Structure 1
Amino acid sequence: MLAGILISAAAMTAIVAVRYVLSSGGFAWATSRVRPGLYRGLEPQIRKEIGWSLASAAIYGIPAGVVAWGWQEHGWTRIYTDWSAFPLWYLPLSVLAYLAAHDTWFYWTHRLMHRPKPFRIAHAVHHASRPPTAWAAMSFHPWEAVTGAVVIPALVFVVPIHVAMLGLVLTIMTVMGVTNHMGWEMFPRWLVHSRLGEWLITASHHQRHHDLYKCNYGLYFRVWDKLCGTDRGLARP
């Protein structure tokens, strides 16, 4: 049993690390084409971002590996593979439920990380990226990485989700995590400044957080920022 858990944890750690390298590397390459010179002179910072991120990959990979093992070997989770197990309308609803729950957890833990002591101990690592780059998406102190690593593994024990929809959630999480930090707006202006864009977080919104610190704490949606009066609008990355 222990060997199976260790193999699964190691495999998931490798998958998270490779996913990080490919996604952050891909968007860093895109940045070099779309915004030439944007990361010029940031090579020492980027090396630190990569180092912290690869450490975070293990912290994310271990609980994910344990959960994956439990699902495959014992059916511990609410992950399902039969498309007919739930109505088709439930598929997008489950994705939205996961994103909303993750966003809520992230907002409040992120605000907590900006309290003086947690910031000094942990969150300062992430904000050492000035300005953040595409490589900074997982650049966390281990204590902060733990708070992010437990959310999705915990949700799969509570909220049913098709394995393909879970893959979509993880894809959205990865893309948003990288693009929100890369220093320029990937999404078109018509979307960012639309009624829908008023409720979505993109690079323009998250850059404001890195500029001002005490605002724009959300991950996917601006709902909690608007409800709690911490939304300070958009920067111009």
Structure 2
Amino acid sequence: MTGPLLTSVLISAAAMTAIVAVRYLVTSGGFAWATKHVRPGLYATLDTQIRKEIFWSLASAAVYGIPAGIIAWGWQNRGWTLIYSDFSDYPLWYLPLSLFAFLFAHDTWFYWTHRWMHRPKLFRIAHAVHHASRPPTAWAAMSFHPIEALTGAIVIPALVFVIPIHVAMLGLVLAIMTLMGVTNHMGWEMFPRTLVHSRLGGWLITASHHQRHHEAYTCNYGLYFRFWDRICGTDKGISDAFAR
């Protein structure tokens, strides 16, 4: 790879790292601000923990941003990936199908790698960083050891080589991933009880469900859906505190 070409790739990786970091700070910061007003005092004694969550999350931004930046460069300059920008390339009905395919594939990868991270040795080496958030806060969404961050960073870049997706739908995937990553950790439920306790809510993961994972560790491993938890017998319902 020539000097100018390498420089171009490095700039793309650095730019994507900055985008991921800013996205984290804005989204987590926004929901932390909302928590301060909706649940005053919830994070009052967690300043030291929050500083650690921000440190690990900004480190994770580089782990996520570098491969994403390289793939973005390859898509724009070399035609890598199956990302498309012309709506006429595929039927319109394919747009929501590709969105669901990405979310389900990501959820499947996350469920099984998450369970893997709970093996004793890997937990001590890597996943313990995330579970040091007791209780989790809005700042904990990306608080991962680099080893764990890497398992999450490769999945979306890999999927764009396998599943065709419009760039707008890819942006929506990333928005949903960010939103659910933050809201599932913020320590209170933003979605209405009518949704959480509905038939649909029984298949979706929200803070009520993920909070139990941070309480009991050996259950509720999913990211978006409760499908794999239900199939594998690891769904233990919502947190008792949230149920009240």
Give the TM-score normalised by the residue count of structure 1. 0.99
Shift of the alpha carbon at 1:23? Answer: 0.2
Q: Which residue of structure 2 aligns with residue 129 of structure 1?
A: 133
Supply the distance in 2 between the matched residues of 1:88 and 1:38 (Cα, whole angstroms): 44
- Which residues of 2 match residues 34-73 of structure 1 at below 5 A? 34-73=38-77
Q: Which residue of structure 2 aligns with residue 86 of structure 1?
A: 90
Shift of the alpha carbon at 1:140? Answer: 0.1
Supply the distance in 1 between the matched residues of 2:92 and 2:198 (Cα, whole angstroms): 29
What RMSD in Å do the two structures reach over aligned CA positions?
0.4
Shift of the alpha carbon at 1:152? Answer: 0.2
Supply the distance in 1 between the matched residues of 2:35 and 2:167 (Cα, whole angstroms): 32
Q: 2:144 aligns with which of 132, 140, 147?
A: 140
Supply the distance in 2 between the matched residues of 1:26 and 1:228 (Cα, whole angstroms): 35
SS of 2:208's partner is: helix
Q: Which residue of structure 2 aligns with residue 168 of structure 1?
A: 172
- Which residues of 2 match residues 86-125 of structure 1 at below 5 A? 86-125=90-129
Q: Which residue of structure 2 aligns with residue 152 of structure 1?
A: 156
Q: 2:200 aligns with which of 185, 196, 203?
A: 196
Structure 1: segments with no counterpart, 5+ residues: none
Supply the distance in 1 between the matched residues of 2:26 and 2:217 (Cα, whole angstroms): 28
Supply the distance in 1 between the matched residues of 2:223 and 2:174 (Cα, whole angstroms): 13
SS of 1:102's partner is: helix
Q: Which residue of structure 1 aligns with residue 214 of structure 2?
A: 210
Supply the distance in 2 between the matched residues of 1:22 and 1:76 (Cα, whole angstroms): 30
Q: 1:185 aligns with which of 174, 184, 189?
A: 189
Structure 2: segments with no counterpart, 5+ residues: none
Supply the distance in 1 between the matched residues of 2:175 and 2:110 (Cα, whole angstroms): 17
Hey, which bits of structure 1, 4+ residues long, moved more than 6 A? Answer: none
